[in-house]
Amino acid sequence: MNGSQHFTWDDLQFFLAVARTGQLSTAARQLRSSHATVSRRIDRLEFALKVKLFERNPRGYVLTSMGQRFVDTAERMEQETERLQADLAAGSTTQRGVVRISAPEGFSNFFFATILQDFNARYPNIALELVTIQQIMSLSRKEADLGVVLDEPKGGPYFVEKLTDYHLQVYGSRDYLAVNPPVTCREDLLDHPFIGYIEDMIFAPGLDYLGDIHPRIRPQFQSSSIFAQLTATRNGLGLCVLPYFIADGYPDLQMVLPGEVDLKRHYWITCHRDLRHVPRVRAVIDFLVEAVERNAPAFLGRASAILPD
């Protein structure tokens, strides 16, 4: 190499991939490259800039303070590049790449997964990664590009848009309700075992709702998985609070106290504001907003019957 070192846009892509993942191997897979090539590109970029961008340790690559500052510059260049591509090309060819979405298990499995075929037909060049682990992914550290969350983020460098309200009711299996004491008021609920979330593992305040049904309800079976709660309810283990858009798909479930118990919660879609106008991210946001709007009755349940046209 000569004394005047230059770096290319490709080097910045390698830098951003490592900055977002913290691992050479993960970055290499995303870039369809090799571990050695990624390492060489990072070394070349640091040499050209004459600054250390990462601390290397056994757990991976951690951004230095200068590296963190350089992320902002590199992401602005990434956005401008994508905008230029959008101006130069037409249609869906401008929307390409990988978008990682973090979303709650219920929304992911019982709604989002059902519309993937429509999404793939519209955006064949966008690959989706759906993360449903029970924790909040860090949008600021780019662990996910987009998040569907139950509680609106307060503060921070985020774009936030409300997706929808959704309603929840108490359900039991028809077989269970046929052989157990009738439920005619909220006090009667205390005569029945309940199924719910593990209290100290509730990752979003929006999921803490048994107290809203009755302050003395204590679940007999608890799980961090809404699918496990659904399965236990269908198998007659007791009563459970479930979103209408999930429970309505199972004719063996029956709503309990339909005229008295109706909880409302919300889904929001959010991303780091720097990513909001990236074409592939914007395409996913627009598609989700449109799909949720189209399926409003599924989320709103009986409430949808009184909505204005």
Q: What is the pLDDT of residues 285-295, one digit of tens each?
A: 999 999 999 99
Which residues make Cβ contacts (< 8 Å) with residue 259, sequence separation at least 6? none
Q: Looking at the structure, do residues 281 and 145 belong to the same domain, yes or no?
A: yes
In whole angstroms, what is the distance from residue 93 CA to residue 280 CA? Answer: 10
HEC string for 225-269: CHHHHHHHHHCCCCEEEEEHHHHCCCCCEEEECCCCCCEEEEEEE
Same domain, 189 and 239: yes
Please indicate, yes or no, if residue 297 is contained in any of the structural domains: yes
Q: Are residues 118 and 176 in the same domain?
A: no
Residue 288 lies in a domain: yes
| Same-domain status, 158 and 275 | yes
Kindly give the confidence (pLDDT) of every residue in the chain, 309 residues in length, as a single tens digit, with 9 standing for 90 and above. 343 456 677 788 899 999 988 998 888 888 888 989 999 999 999 988 899 999 998 888 999 999 998 998 888 888 777 776 665 554 444 567 899 999 999 999 999 999 999 999 999 999 999 988 655 555 545 678 899 998 888 877 888 999 999 999 999 999 999 999 999 999 999 999 999 998 877 767 667 788 888 889 989 999 989 999 999 999 999 999 999 999 999 999 999 999 899 999 999 999 888 888 888 999 999 999 999 999 999 999 865 543 333
For residue 45, tell me if it sits in a domain. Answer: yes
Of the three residues 49, 75, 101, the one that is the final residue of a domain is 75
Verify that 211 and 146 share a domain, yes or no. no
Q: Does 227 share its domain with 208?
A: yes
Q: What is the pLDDT of residues 56-85, one digit of tens each?
A: 988 889 999 999 989 988 888 887 777 766
Q: Per the domain annotation, does 4 fall within a domain?
A: no
Radius of gyration of the chain, Cα coordinates, nearest whole angstrom: 24
Q: Is residue 148 located within the same domain as residue 278?
A: yes
Longest dimension (CA), the chain: 85
N-terminal to C-terminal alpha carbon distance within the chain: 68
Q: Could you tell me if residue 221 is inside a domain?
A: yes
298 and 255 both lie in a single domain: no
Distance (Å, rounded) from C-alpha 163 to C-alpha 80? 28
Do both 155 and 281 map to the same domain? Answer: yes
Is the pTM here over 0.85, yes or no? no
Q: What are phi and psi of 108, to 5 degrees?
A: -65, -50
Residue (of 201, 207, 213) closest to 106 by Cα position: 207
* Statement to judge: residues 119 and 249 lie in one domain: no
Q: Are residues 38 and 102 in the same domain?
A: no
Residue 62 sits in a domain of what CATH number? Answer: 1.10.10.10
Domains in the chain: how many in total? 3
CATH number, domain with residue 177: 3.40.190.10
Q: Do 154 and 278 have their domain in common?
A: yes
Structural domain of 67: 9-75
Residues 222, 198: contact at Cβ < 8 Å?
Answer: yes
